């Protein structure tokens, strides 16, 4: 690993505890906004599509957002490293708020898709900067992990509250009202960030000229394969396998072009040194498995509860609450245990094993299963994710040079998104080829296998060796 450039005085020593607390409150508020932005309209979309007479375009409201987010995370992660994260966080909050207002005023389904895609770009900017921001404030990973538990807990709780808020606003005031919740949350985040988050000098010694060619290729490399999955395996008449194949080929071609270009330019948009080591490669593979398991559980467990077990939508929502709420529990426990670990990757090994056990518990759910068992199964999965999600980001930050913290954090978020897209598409195919029960159960068997694979990959990550190297250096 090359020697990182000299760093400025650590913010954790030059700011008071209150200032750091308020700065992290701003980061947490930004993460809450990101969660609201991605989840608050999920319960609203059926009524929106009906009101705008756009049921045929229903799926693209969510797909446009997710594609824009996934394709932009890495770029904004790198720009945050180059130019500082505070300006990008402020811009992202404004983009999301304005995009949400535009969605609330949309007069047609194509307009709504366009505005949601714009929000997706803001969401990608927000995720790329907010999850990397704790590294600016707390260079010491042992201190940082406790604060990252706060960020993970805020994101998890907001993800669970978002659909409820959206549904309540829609029922009380109409579907347009749901889009005006995010701007209200944005006002608080904007104030806290502008007032309390410090303007920290970027950790960069290269030319800050933006690699636009690499940026375009990176968008194609990430976005086209994800779009290909959506188009090739969409249900019924919405499937376009040939177009999906063409997009997949375009994505592979972009990757083939991107690698030599990034090796030549002075300041690459995606520095390959971030993934040259064995540990970063293992962590990103683990992130793909975690993303797949997490989203299979989130997307298809409601289907299992409602269509197979006969629960109402509201009952299913209550039973699924521990899956999201317990992420904060696991994150807090992980934050307490991390400073005491000589080999912190063991926490991820434990999380992977716990996720496999939780997936197995969900697999054993059948008609007549006690509600307490269902609640316990989702609680176990939520706790497991609390041991995995913060550590994936933290370990990538620890493995990277200080100047690459943003793009390293963004990379693990991107690979997790890719895993989630592949996992949900695969289970969707299984359901379409059989039935809901068999398809979801096969998907849950896949979850068990992927969770075990995550534990094996985490076991092979040697964080202790990294600490030894840095101490020796």
Domain containing 168 — which CATH number? 1.20.1250.20
Query: Tell me, what's the pLDDT at 20?
Result: 83
| 15 — pLDDT class (breaks 50, 70, 90) | low
Same domain, 180 and 49: yes
Q: Write down the pLDDT at residue 207.
A: 57
Q: Which of 124, 119, 104, 116 is nearest to 58 (CA)?
A: 116
The pLDDT value given to residue 7? 40
Residues 337 and 414 in one domain: yes
Of 130, 166, 123, the closest CA to residue 150 belongs to: 130
Looking at the structure, tell me whether residues 43 and 120 fall in a common domain.
yes
Asked whether residue 379 carries a pLDDT value surpassing 90, the answer given is: yes
| Over residues 106-114, mean pLDDT | 89
Q: What is the pLDDT of residue 373?
A: 94
Say if 348 falls within a structural domain: yes
Q: How far is CA 435 from the centre of its chain?
A: 29
Find the angle CA(247)-CA(222)-CA(193) to the nearest 5 degrees.
145
246 occurs within a structural domain: no
Same domain, residue pair 430 and 310: yes
Distance of CA 401 to the CA centre of its chain: 22
Instruction: Note whether 65 and 123 are within 8 A (CB).
Output: yes
Task: Decide if 358 is inside a domain.
Answer: yes
C-alpha span between 157 and 244 (Å, rounded): 35
Q: Measured in whole angstroms, how far is the alpha carbon of residue 139 from the centre of its chain?
A: 22
Contact 75, 218 (CB under 8 A): yes
The residues, ordered by sequence, that sit 6+ positions from 195 with a Cβ below 8 Å of its Cβ are: 22, 26
Look at residue 3 and tell me whether its pLDDT is greater than 50: no
More confident residue, 219 or 149: 219
Please report whether residue 417 resides in a domain: yes
> Looking at residue 98, what is its pLDDT?
94
Domain count, the chain: 2
Count CB-CB contacts under 10 A for residue 242.
10
Q: Give the ranges where 197-277 is alpha helix by DSSP (H).
A: 212-232, 241-264
Q: Is residue 194 part of a domain?
A: yes
Average pLDDT over residues 137-163: 77
* 203-230: pLDDT as tens digits: 655 556 788 888 899 889 888 888 887 7
Q: Which residue has the higher pLDDT, 55 or 327?
A: 327
Residue 236 within a domain: no
> Residue 5: what pLDDT?
42
Alpha-carbon distance of 317 to 302, in angstroms, equals: 7
Co-location of 294 and 155 in the same domain: no
Domain boundary among 246, 270, 294: 270
8 Å CB contact between 121 and 67: no
Nearest to 224 by CA among 253, 193, 200: 253
- Any idea how long the chain is? 473
Structural domain containing residue 100:
11-211+265-270
Task: Report whether 291 contacts 442 (CB < 8 A).
Answer: no
In-domain check, residue 4: no
pLDDT in tens, 275-296: 888 899 999 999 999 989 988 8
Domain boundary among 237, 270, 303: 270
């Amino acid at each position: 690993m090359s020697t990182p450039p000299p760093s400025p005085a650590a913010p954790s020593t030059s700011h008071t505890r209150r200032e750091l607390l308020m700065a992290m409150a701003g980061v947490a508020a930004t993460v809450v906004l990101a969660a609201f932005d991605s989840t608050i309209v999920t319960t609203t979309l059926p009524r929106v599509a009906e009101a705008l007479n756009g049921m045929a375009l229903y799926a693209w409201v969510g797909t446009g957002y997710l594609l824009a987010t996934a394709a932009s995370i890495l770029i904004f992660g790198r720009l945050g490293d180059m130019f500082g994260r505070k300006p990008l966080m402020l811009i992202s909050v404004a983009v999301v708020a304005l995009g949400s207002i535009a969605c609330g005023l949309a007069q047609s389904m194509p307009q709504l898709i366009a505005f949601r895609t714009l929000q997706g770009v803001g969401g990608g900017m927000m995720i790329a900067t907010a999850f990397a921001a704790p590294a600016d404030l707390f260079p010491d990973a042992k201190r940082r992990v406790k604060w990252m538990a706060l960020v993970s807990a805020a994101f998890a709780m907001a993800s669970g509250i978002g659909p409820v808020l959206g549904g309540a606003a829609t029922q009380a005031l109409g579907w347009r009202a749901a889009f005006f919740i995010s701007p209200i949350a944005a006002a608080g985040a904007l104030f806290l960030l502008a007032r309390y988050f410090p303007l920290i000098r970027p950790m960069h010694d290269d030319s800050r000229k933006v690699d636009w060619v690499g940026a375009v290729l990176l968008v194609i490399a990430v976005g086209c394969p994800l779009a290909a999955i959506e188009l090739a395996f969409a249900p019924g008449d919405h499937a376009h396998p040939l177009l999906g194949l063409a997009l997949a080929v375009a994505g592979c071609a972009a990757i083939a072009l991107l690698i030599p270009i990034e090796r030549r330019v002075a300041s690459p948009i995606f520095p390959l040194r971030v993934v040259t080591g064995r540990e970063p490669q293992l962590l990103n593979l683990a992130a793909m498995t975690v993303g797949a398991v997490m989203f299979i559980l989130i997307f298809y467990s409601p289907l299992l509860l409602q269509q197979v077990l006969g629960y109402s939508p509201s009952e299913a929502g209550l039973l699924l609450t521990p899956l999201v709420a317990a992420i904060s529990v696991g994150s807090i426990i992980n934050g307490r245990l991390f400073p005491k670990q000589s080999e912190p990757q063991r926490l991820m090994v434990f999380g992977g094993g716990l996720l496999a056990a939780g997936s197995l518990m969900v697999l054993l759910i059948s008609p007549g299963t006690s509600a307490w068992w269902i609640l316990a199964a989702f609680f176990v999965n939520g706790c497991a994710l609390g041991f995995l999600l913060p550590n994936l980001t933290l370990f990538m930050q620890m493995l990277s040079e200080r100047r690459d913290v943003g793009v390293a954090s963004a990379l693990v978020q991107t690979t997790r998104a890719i895993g989630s897209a592949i996992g949900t598409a695969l289970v969707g195919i299984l359901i379409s080829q059989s039935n809901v029960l068999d398809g979801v159960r096969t998907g849950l068997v896949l979850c068990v296998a992927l969770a075990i694979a995550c534990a094996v990959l985490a076991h092979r990550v040697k964080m202790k060796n990294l600490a030894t190297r840095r101490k020796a250096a």
